[in-house]
Amino acid sequence: MTLEENAGKLSVCHIASGDSWAGAEAQVASTVRMLARRSDISLSAIVLNEGRLASEMRQAGVAVKVIPEDRYGFLKIVTEASGFIREQEVNLLHSHRYKENCIAQSLALCCGVGAVVRTQHGMPEPFVGWRGVRHSLTQRFDSWSGRHLAGAIISVSSEMAPLLARRYGEDKVFTIRNGIDTAGIASPLSREEAKCRLGCGQKPLIGIVGRLEPIKRVDLFLEVVHELTLRVPDIEFVVAGDGSLRESLIACACHKGLEARVHFLGYRKDIHDVLRALDVLVMCSDHEGLPMVLLEALWLGVPVVGRAVGGIREVLGENRNGLCVDSSDAEALAAACERLLRDPLLGEDLCRSARQAIEGDFSAEGNAAAVAELYRRLTG
């Protein structure tokens, strides 16, 4: 794009890690794709790892600079990024996650960028040992810099906004819900075909999708599995995702005698086909921002049972768009799953209502429009 074509446009640079592909990365990619279609914004991105996020941004026509964080320290990253920021004549920086927030604030000071926006994709996750100490120090700096230096903090759900307001100041926090590009959420398979592809025959199939990390509570899902095997004969389960707890969770499933029923699929690029196979998706997390996989599952017609935490409650409502369980009790979650298995029409009604909600309140177009409006508000 020439300088003449960029004249009058707001130049925005997103800063993200891109070390994995999960809900936050999916949301960043979705927002960037939609913003890239606008005629009033010129987009660029700094990504700290080569991978799917960088690739999807390039496909959207975004200028991407990859600065590998495994090869460069913090100061070197800022130095490398500064040249790119000046080259792109950036007016506004939009960062995602703690390290990226620190980089954005440093670049704003070094390069004279007048506005910094952050998206808070979820609340802080607990860490132990040296990693916990380091993470705690990063969070302290992040809170201070967010309150005193950042222009705006985006909360992806209404539930998180009051928590963020206490940390950063009420005037800094804006709620902009995550949204999905429904045109890209599809599977060519029927539920029967998707089940066969996973090797599950036509048995009832219940699953969980996400990172295998403590906050996702896959251990609780395995308790739900144990309960359901006592209630529903001939049922199978899948766990889609990878993470630090993979081996311990597999061992836990074996200890409970569930190894023949629970299939650990690992990371899947064909996640929409996996979702299509499910009769019920379960979300057991201790907290969520606003999960992209939740929106994707509902759009694909997969009934959801979720704990009433974070954005899950916001999407499912009072059992309007899915069954929301205000408890971490495995029996309560299992009972909700059993209810959907025994009443398929209920699941169809919930998903029909959910599709309407997604079109109205959780669309990628609406998300990008609100983000662009915030950019204009900050830059005048």
Could you tell me if 24 and 67 lie in one domain? yes
Quick one: pLDDT at residue 126?
Answer: 59
N- to C-terminal Cα distance for the chain?
24
**b/e 264-281 (16+ beta carbons within 10 angstroms → b):** bbeebeebbbbbbbbbbb
Is 92 within 8 Å of 116 (Cβ atoms)? yes
Strands (E), 103-167: 115-120, 152-155
d(CA 355, CA 132): 40
Could you tell me if 240 and 297 lie in one domain? yes
Could you tell me if 218 and 166 lie in one domain? no
Nearest to 45 by CA among 84, 2, 98: 84
d(CA 143, CA 149): 10
Nearest to 359 by CA among 298, 306, 318, 317: 298
E strand or H helix at 130: helix 129-148
Could you tell me if 104 and 144 lie in one domain? yes
Question: In tens digits, what is the pLDDT along the chain, a chain of 380 residues?
Answer: 444 455 579 999 999 999 889 889 999 999 999 999 999 999 999 999 999 999 999 999 999 999 999 999 999 999 999 999 999 999 999 999 888 999 999 999 999 999 999 999 987 765 556 566 666 777 787 888 888 889 999 999 999 999 999 999 999 999 999 999 999 999 999 999 999 999 988 899 999 999 999 999 999 999 999 999 999 989 999 999 999 999 999 999 999 999 999 999 999 999 999 999 999 999 999 999 999 999 999 999 999 999 999 999 999 988 999 999 999 999 999 999 999 999 999 999 999 999 999 999 999 999 999 999 999 999 98
Tokens representing residue 354 in the block: 């959910």
Could you tell me if 172 and 189 lie in one domain? no
Q: Please list the residues that pair with 65 across neighbouring strands.
A: 46
Could you tell me if 350 and 310 lie in one domain? yes
Strands (E), 162-230: 173-175, 205-209
Quick one: pLDDT at residue 291?
Answer: 95
d(CA 226, CA 220): 10
The SS3 of residue 335 is helix
Is 156 within 8 Å of 120 (Cβ atoms)? yes
Place of tokens 């009972």: 335
- Cα–Cα–Cα angle for 348, 230, 206, rounded to 5 degrees: 35
Tokens representing residue 75 in the block: 């100061």
Is 290 within 8 Å of 177 (Cβ atoms)? yes
Could you tell me if 352 and 370 lie in one domain? no
Could you tell me if 189 and 168 lie in one domain? no
d(CA 213, CA 290): 17
Could you tell me if 277 and 368 lie in one domain? no
d(CA 309, CA 325): 9
Contacts of 201 by beta carbon, 8 Å cutoff, 6+ apart? 195
Quick one: pLDDT at residue 134?
Answer: 65
Could you tell me if 99 and 124 lie in one domain? yes
Q: What is the number of domains present in the chain?
A: 2
Contacts of 335 by beta carbon, 8 Å cutoff, 6+ apart? none
The total number of residues shown for the chain amounts to 380
Quick one: pLDDT at residue 200?
Answer: 87
Residue 244 CB burial class (10 angstroms; 0-12, 13-18, ≥19): exposed
**b/e 63-102 (16+ beta carbons within 10 angstroms → b):** bbbbbebeeeeeeebbeebeebbeebebbbbbbbbbbbbb
Quick one: pLDDT at residue 7?
Answer: 57
Quick one: pLDDT at residue 3?
Answer: 44
> Domain of 106: which CATH number?
3.40.50.2000
Tens-place pLDDT, residues 101-120: 999 999 999 999 999 999 99
Q: In which domain, by residue range, is 193 found? A: 182-361
Place of tokens 């940390």: 167
pTM: 0.91
d(CA 177, CA 335): 30
Contacts of 267 by beta carbon, 8 Å cutoff, 6+ apart? 21, 240, 241, 242
Could you tell me if 125 and 226 lie in one domain? no
Biggest CA–CA distance in the chain, Å, is: 68
Could you tell me if 59 and 154 lie in one domain? yes
Quick one: pLDDT at residue 288?
Answer: 93
